[in-house]
Structure 1
Amino acid sequence: MAHPPKHIVSAAAIVLNEENKILLLRGPRRGWEMPGGQVEEGESLCSAVIRETKEETGIDIEIIRFCGIFQNVRDSICNTLFLGRPVGGQFRTSDESLEIGYFTIEEALNMVTWKNFRERIEYCITRQEPFLVEFNA
């Protein structure tokens, strides 16, 4: 009998405030990035991204729209992306976030250097229709 698939599903948010600045956190492993993380069993994608953003930054968000999926086919990882806006909370660092801040889109794109995270932000900001990007990392 074949083993069942072991996929990882994550959810991340591009959070834009009223000044059109992006919420980023600086993590201990990947540098500056958008908030997000793994979806837990029995949890919806939207609930996961709201929870992860709160845990990592202290900020409560509202989901505005689903943006798309980046799928790492080789490693069986599906990264779902959402556009959100802050609705409350206060900055709070954690083990996963050493620094937190809002940055202009230009600043954010220059700060995010981990793998294809910059491309994920660009896709969410520039595309109005949902997207699917498949790659083998």
Structure 2
Amino acid sequence: MSVPKHIVSAATIVLNEHNEILLIKGPRRGWEMPGGQVEEGESLEEAAIRETKEESGIDIEITRFCGIYQNVSNSICNTLFMGKPVGGVPTTSPESLKVGYFPIKEGLEMVTWKNFRERIESCINLECQPFYISF
């Protein structure tokens, strides 16, 4: 029997006081919500906060756990949170070519990578939370 080698990630849907969504434009996947892999010894929440800061320059506070998307065949668990900005300024990084806040409808149309738009919609829709979606 082999030792499991899972990837666990944390992403955050950040909405500002104008109900605009924070998106980053990555070099490979285009526009998406900030997020990335959870490091050893780090909580899911800590990873979501760190990744958002690293990729966008924005300091956030986690407001809610939304759910999990599990890619069974690739052993990836993506945890999703809602958050609000508490400081920082939009800043690009090696992982983000552009950073900005957008009206939700416009932002959703900008997100084209795989099921990332669906993930954002799942986080915004309180009626379906918490969710667990495996594929």
TM over 0.5: yes
Over the matched positions of the two proteins, sequence identity in percent amounts to: 73
What is the aligned partner in structure 2 of residue 85 from structure 1?
Answer: 84
Q: Distance in 2 between matches of 1:109 and 1:55?
A: 22
What is the aligned partner in structure 1 of residue 13 from structure 2?
Answer: 14
What is the aligned partner in structure 2 of residue 35 from structure 1?
Answer: 34
What is the aligned partner in structure 2 of residue 109 from structure 1?
Answer: 108
Deviation at 1:125, TM superposition (A): 0.2
Q: Distance in 1 between matches of 2:54 and 2:104?
A: 23
Deviation at 1:90, TM superposition (A): 1.0
What is the aligned partner in structure 2 of residue 100 from structure 1?
Answer: 99
Deviation at 1:91, TM superposition (A): 1.4
Q: Distance in 1 between matches of 2:28 and 2:50?
A: 20
Q: Distance in 2 between matches of 1:6 and 1:51?
A: 23
Deviation at 1:127, TM superposition (A): 2.5
Deviation at 1:3, TM superposition (A): 2.1
TM-score, normalised to structure 1, is 0.96
Q: Distance in 2 between matches of 1:126 and 1:93?
A: 29
Q: Unaligned stretches of 5+ in structure 1? A: none
Counterpart check, 1:65 vs 2:56: no
> Structure 1, residues 51-80: CA drift from partner, whole Å, max 9, x if none?
000000100000000000000000000000
Deviation at 1:100, TM superposition (A): 0.4
Q: Distance in 2 between matches of 1:96 and 1:130?
A: 28
> Structure 1, residues 27-52: CA drift from partner, whole Å, max 9, x if none?
00000000000000110000000000
> What amino acid is aligned across from residue 131 of structure 2 in structure 1?
F
Matched residue count: 134
Q: After superposition, where does 1:120-131 map in structure 2 within 5 Å?
A: 120-128=119-127, 129-131=129-131
Deviation at 1:93, TM superposition (A): 0.6
Q: Unaligned stretches of 5+ in structure 2? A: none
Deviation at 1:14, TM superposition (A): 0.1
> What amino acid is aligned across from residue 113 of structure 2 in structure 1?
W
> What amino acid is aligned across from residue 26 of structure 2 in structure 1?
G
What is the aligned partner in structure 1 of residue 134 from structure 2?
Answer: 134
Deviation at 1:22, TM superposition (A): 0.2
What is the aligned partner in structure 2 of residue 46 from structure 1?
Answer: 45
TM-score, normalised to structure 2, is 0.97
Please, what is the CA RMSD of the aligned residues?
A: 0.7
